[in-house]
């Protein structure tokens, strides 16, 4: 019995020990299992974070590579501007302070096999084949392919460029490496061309990398419309201050990547042109630069009238002051500062497209016609006519730009009635001049004539001269002609003739007799001809083309730039421009007193627009 008791006690103790071991083993196994699970979760979370970081980094690198490739494309275009037969290309080209590199390689044989990265220069018509296939590069064109690499990412841009017509490849209405200051009423938008109502984004960007605030600003006084994005490379969250306004492209963004855009070696180009023929200058009036492709002027130049370019490059080895405007087609290179005024011209089927390259500061002035007219409030008839012209012009533009415009025009339509409200009815006029004064809808019909006559009684001033000329153009643009003249004038325009006074009325009155094909042909011409009749902006002056400078840009007194403004002041030796007691440093852009910018894509990227087309086709891959 004693042995049995001892046996069972010993067995019980062993069983208790085994149970304790089992419990401890289970706890150990559980702990090890949970630890392994936690380790796997941590590893998975780390992997996920690394993947997300890698994805974000790759996206950033792809965007940076695209910007870098675009910079390479612009550099290649600059080479082609110097030498249309250029085929040297470049490899592993870098930009200061920018990671990565870009390359452009040419197939110089004109024969396959072609790589997808091969560029082809068919400027002489002997190399029409490319990686895209046979006969894909027209004579006189270059298929440019530029590839950029940033770490693991690469992007390629390809452009079909028309040699001999390579202009500066601007992509924004306002682009600079300085500050941008907008004051008063602001409109920054974009159109594909002046002959179409197709809109494109009007973006604004400053490359200035600074921790300061207020790199891009609007003072909040008046109205503002920006149809694209507003961005800044400044690191401060307050680098952009638009007084609470959000552009149509989205809220302003800061700390974005710098956008690459090419410099132009203005002083080098002027020095190289010093042996070209000296341009003849008309010191007392309009100067027309024509004949030789390149012409030169040795020193500071002041012109009392307009400077008109007829397909030429004009090099000024000094400052340039034009007490009129710069218009026509061609390029102007200025070693010093450039001062000029906007054009009074409001409607034309051959818009100017001038490329101005100024090493010094650029001042572009209008005549502030709207403020001048608003100051004449003591004359109620003048004010009533002024306001009615605004309303009628808005109706005209709404009708001609409507999606169903081809069905809306014609005799006794809204377009016709509004047009009569401005242009009046032609009665016994001679040589296409003058307008009648009939009553239409209880309104004085010839508003342009009324205002012009009112202005004649005022004291002399440049603003008075500007507005008299402006209202004469409005009167001519919307002049109503007799029915007997409609057919001849309309047929003249249909046959490719100019828009003479009364042409809009003639085409509109004959609208129902036009074929659908003729209507489709006429609508873009009507839109282009009437495109600058802007309500509430009739007093604006215009510059059509590109403004590029190594200094500052000041646009003031109700001037509108149709094209683009580009400032590249970094490293420039240009002295600041003082405006209202404030220094504008190289690269700064100021638009004030109702000055505006409209980007015109066709001026820089081909299509049916006038001027230097440059890029006919562009794609990224």
pLDDT of 431 above 50: no
Q: What is the per-residue pLDDT across 96-137, written as a single tens digit (0 to 9) for each?
A: 878 899 999 999 988 888 999 999 998 777 788 999 888 888
**Mean confidence (pLDDT) of the chain:** 80
Given the structure tokens 């080098």, which residue do they identify? 268
Q: What is the per-residue pLDDT across 495-508, written as a single tens digit (0 to 9) for each?
A: 777 777 778 888 88
3-state secondary structure (DSSP) of residue 211: coil
pLDDT of 278 above 50: yes
- What single DSSP character describes residue 576? P
Considering the chain, what percentage of its residues have pLDDT values greater than 90? 31
Secondary structure of 422-484 in HEC code, one letter for each residue: HHCECCCCCCCCCCCCCEECCEECCHHHHHHHHHHCCCCCHHHHHHHHHHHHHHHHCCECCHH
Domain with 92, as residue range(s), is 65-162
Q: What's the pLDDT at 75?
A: 87
Counting every residue written for the chain, the total comes to 621
Pick 401 or 551 by higher pLDDT.
551
Q: What is the per-residue pLDDT across 199-218, written as a single tens digit (0 to 9) for each?
A: 899 999 999 999 999 999 99
pLDDT of 347 above 90: no
171-175, 291-295, 352-356, 615-619: which is most confident: 171-175
Structure confidence at residue 471 as a pLDDT band (50, 70, 90): confident
Of 495, 515, 535, the residue at which a domain comes to its end is 515
Other Cβ atoms closer than 10 A to 91: 9
pLDDT of 305 above 70: yes
Residue 551, in any domain of the structure: no
Residue 148, in any domain of the structure: yes
How many structural domains are present in the chain?
2
Q: What's the pLDDT at 396?
A: 84
Report how far apart the first and last C-alpha atoms of the chain are (Å, whole number). Answer: 96
Other Cβ atoms closer than 10 A to 534: 19
Residue 494, in any domain of the structure: yes
Mean pLDDT of 513-520: 87
Query: Tokens for 440?
Result: 């239409």
Of 127, 162, 197, the residue at which a domain comes to its end is 162
Strands laid side by side in the 301-303 sheet:
240-241, 216-218, 180-182, 589-591, 553-556, 362-365, 338-341, 320-322, 301-303
Residue 154, in any domain of the structure: yes
Residue 402, in any domain of the structure: no
Best CA proximity match to 533, nearest among 346, 349, 368, 344: 346
pLDDT of 444 above 50: no
Residue 284, in any domain of the structure: no
The answer to whether 471 and 372 have CB atoms below 8 angstroms apart is no
pLDDT of 380 above 70: yes
Other Cβ atoms closer than 10 A to 442: 5
Q: What is the per-residue pLDDT across 226-243, written as a single tens digit (0 to 9) for each?
A: 999 999 999 999 999 999
Burial degree of 231 (CB within 10 A; 0-12, 13-18, 19+): buried
- Compute the distance between CA of residue 231 and CA of residue 238 in angstroms, rounded to an integer: 11
Residue 482, in any domain of the structure: yes
- Compute the distance between CA of residue 204 and CA of residue 227 in angstroms, rounded to an integer: 10
Residue 79, in any domain of the structure: yes
Of 125, 143, 162, the residue at which a domain comes to its end is 162
Query: Tokens for 177?
Result: 């490496």
Q: What stretches of 254-295 show up as alpha helix (H) in DSSP?
A: 266-272
């Amino acid at each position: 019995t004693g042995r049995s008791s001892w046996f069972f006690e010993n067995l019980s103790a062993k069983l208790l020990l085994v149970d304790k071991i089992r419990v401890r083993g289970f706890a150990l196994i559980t702990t090890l299992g949970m630890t392994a699970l936690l380790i796997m979760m941590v590893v998975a979370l780390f992997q996920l974070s690394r993947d997300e970081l890698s994805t974000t980094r790759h996206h950033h690198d792809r965007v940076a590579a695209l910007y870098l490739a675009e910079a390479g494309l612009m550099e290649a275009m600059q080479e082609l501007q110097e030498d249309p037969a250029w085929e040297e290309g470049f490899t592993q080209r870098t930009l200061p302070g920018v990671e990565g590199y870009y390359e452009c390689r040419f197939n110089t044989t004109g024969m396959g096999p072609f790589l997808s990265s091969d560029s082809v220069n068919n400027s002489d018509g002997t190399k029409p084949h490319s990686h895209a296939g046979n006969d894909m590069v027209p004579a006189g064109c270059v298929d440019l392919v530029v590839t950029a690499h940033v770490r693991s990412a690469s992007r390629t841009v390809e452009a079909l460029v028309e040699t001999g017509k390579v202009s500066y490849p601007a992509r924004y209405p306002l682009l600079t490496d300085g500050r941008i200051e907008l004051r008063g009423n602001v409109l920054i938008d974009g159109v594909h061309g002046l002959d179409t109502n197709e809109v494109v984004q009007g973006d604004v960007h400053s490359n200035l990398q600074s921790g300061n605030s207020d790199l891009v600003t609007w003072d909040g006084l008046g109205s503002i419309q920006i149809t694209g994005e507003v961005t800044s490379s400044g690191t401060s969250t307050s680098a952009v201050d638009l007084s609470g306004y959000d552009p149509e492209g989205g809220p302003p963004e800061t700390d974005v990547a710098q956008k690459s855009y090419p410099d132009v070696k203005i002083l080098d180009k002027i020095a190289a042109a010093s042996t070209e023929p000296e341009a003849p200058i008309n010191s007392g009036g309009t100067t027309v630069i024509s004949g030789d492709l390149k012409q030169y002027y040795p020193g500071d130049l002041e012109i009392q009238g307009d400077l008109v370019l007829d397909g030429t490059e004009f090099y000024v080895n000094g400052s340039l002051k034009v007490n009129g405007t710069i218009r026509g087609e061609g390029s102007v290179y200025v070693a010093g500062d450039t001062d000029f005024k906007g054009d009074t011209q409001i409607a034309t089927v051959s818009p100017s497209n001038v490329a101005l390259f100024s090493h010094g500061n650029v001042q572009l002035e209008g005549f502030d016609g709207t403020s001048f007219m608003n100051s004449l409030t003591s004359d109620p008839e003048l004010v009533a006519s002024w306001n009615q012209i605004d309303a009628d012009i808005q109706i005209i533009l709404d009708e001609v730009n409507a999606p169903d415009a081809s069905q809306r025009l014609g005799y006794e339509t809204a377009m016709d009635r509004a047009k009569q409200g401005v242009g009046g009815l032609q009665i016994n006029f001679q040589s296409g001049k003058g307008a009648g004064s009939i009553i239409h809808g209880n309104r004085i019909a010839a508003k342009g004539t009324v205002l012009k006559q009112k202005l004649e009684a005022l004291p002399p001033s440049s603003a008075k001269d500007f507005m008299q000329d402006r209202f004469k153009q409005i009167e001519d643009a919307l002049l109503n002609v007799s029915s007997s003249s409609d057919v001849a004038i309309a047929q003249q325009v249909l046959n490719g003739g100019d828009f003479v006074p009364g042409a809009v009325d003639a085409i509109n009155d004959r609208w129902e007799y036009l074929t659908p094909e003729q209507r489709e042909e006429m609508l873009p011409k009507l839109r282009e001809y009437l495109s600058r009749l802007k309500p509430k902006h009739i007093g604006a002056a215009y510059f059509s083309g590109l403004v590029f400078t190594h200094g500052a840009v000041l646009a003031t007194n109700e001037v509108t730039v149709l094209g683009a403004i580009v400032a590249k002041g970094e490293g420039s030796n240009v002295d600041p421009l003082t405006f209202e007691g404030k220094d504008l440093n190289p690269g700064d852009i100021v638009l004030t007193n109702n000055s505006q910018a409209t980007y015109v894509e066709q001026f820089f990227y081909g299509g049916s627009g006038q001027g230097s087309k440059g890029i006919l086709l562009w794609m990224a891959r």
